[in-house]
Homo-oligomer: A and B are copies of this chain.
Amino acid sequence: MPLLRFDVIEGRDEKSLQLLLDTAHKAMVEAFGVPERDRYQIVHQHPANELMIQDTGLGFQRTKDLVIISITSKTRTESQKEKLYALLAEKLEAECGISPEDLMVSITENGDADWSFGLGEAQFLNGKL
């Protein structure tokens, strides 16, 4: 159920982009304990000047590899979220060569009634999920 929006700078080839999505999904499955096919990812590729991402004084070096992930999810615990951030950073570096300084994540929570995965049904309300 989490819906992930990836904003990146254009220039990756298809294979690299796919690897990025696959890797992020592995982190999600492990951190939030969602089923393998609970996968909902949207990518936006931008010219560099459409992303103005600084660092609140934390001293990060952002590069063209920058990945911003905006997640909509039902409620998760602090420790699940911390695990997600850590796993995303670890796996994206190991699998995709993306620096942990190039990763930003933001989460917004919603509830059971706020999801319909198909058929016009609310699957968290009607017992199908």
* Cross-chain contact of A105 among B55, B90, B115, B125 (Cβ < 8 A): B115
Task: Report if A37-B49 is in contact (Cβ < 8 Å); known contacts: A118-B60, A119-B101, A120-B90.
Answer: no
Q: Which of A41, A55, A88 gathers the greatest number of chain B CB atoms within 10 Å?
A: A55
Q: How many residues of A contact B (CB 8 A)?
A: 68
Residues in B with CB closer than 8 Å to A101 are 118-119
Report how many copies the assembly holds: 3
Kindly supply a per-residue 1/0 record for chain A positions 31-53, scoring 1 wherever the CB is within 8 Å of any chain B CB and 0 otherwise: 00011011111111110011111
Distance A89 CA – B109 CA, assembled complex (angstroms)? 24
CB atoms of B86 and A104 under 8 A apart? no
Instruction: Indicate if the CB atoms of A50 and B57 lie closer than 8 Å.
Output: no
